[in-house]
């Protein structure tokens, strides 16, 4: 089993930044992807960023150029920083883990995820 615990959400002004953390614990194995999804009520959960065990990262088009996903292996923590926030970024953000080696954000959907964090709300005000 794997446990994912997010932190760092909250309210941010438009134009500001967010930095989310996800503490990973349990038996991840050696082949897995870590990533972030977000969800707005009434809509499907959508991928934001994915990173593999070699620290190769991919991003959704809507955050490309203003987001960085990173891992601190020693601390078993996943991070997501997003800059230039707009109200469109308001959502619940979820940390996610998928077993395997195929980690492209364009290929990994919510149905592929094996473990989820509890989610953290990010609200961007204009």
- Each residue's pLDDT expressed in tens, for the chain with a length of 126 residues: 999 999 999 999 999 999 999 999 999 888 999 999 999 999 999 999 999 999 999 999 999 999 999 999 888 999 999 999 999 999 999 999 999 988 999 999 999 999 999 999 999 999
Q: Which helix (H) or strand (E) holds 67?
A: strand 67-72
Among the listed residues 93, 98, 117, the one whose alpha carbon sits nearest the alpha carbon of residue 109: 98
In eight-state DSSP terms, residue 105 is T
Cα of 40 vs its chain's centroid, Å: 14
pLDDT of residue 53: 92
Q: How far apart are CA 44 and CA 62, in angstroms?
A: 15
pLDDT (0 to 100) of residue 30: 86
Task: Report the pLDDT value the prediction gives residue 57, as an integer from 0 to 100.
Answer: 96
DSSP-derived 3-state class of residue 111: helix
Q: Phi and psi for 52 in degrees, rounded to 5? A: -100, -175
pLDDT on residue 101:
83
């Amino acid at each position: 089993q794997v446990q994912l615990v997010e932190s760092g959400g909250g309210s941010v002004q438009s134009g500001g930044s967010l930095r989310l953390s996800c503490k990973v614990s349990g038996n991840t194995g050696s082949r897995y992807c870590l990533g972030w999804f977000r969800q707005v009520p009434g809509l499907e959960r959508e991928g934001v960023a994915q990173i593999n065990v070699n620290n190769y990262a991919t991003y959704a088009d809507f955050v490309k150029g203003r987001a960085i996903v990173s891992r601190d292996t020693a601390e078993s923590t996943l991070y997501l920083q997003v800059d230039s926030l707009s109200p469109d970024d308001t959502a619940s953000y979820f940390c996610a883990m998928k077993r395997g080696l195929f980690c492209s954000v364009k290929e990994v959907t919510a149905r592929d995820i094996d473990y989820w964090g509890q989610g953290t709300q990010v609200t961007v005000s204009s």
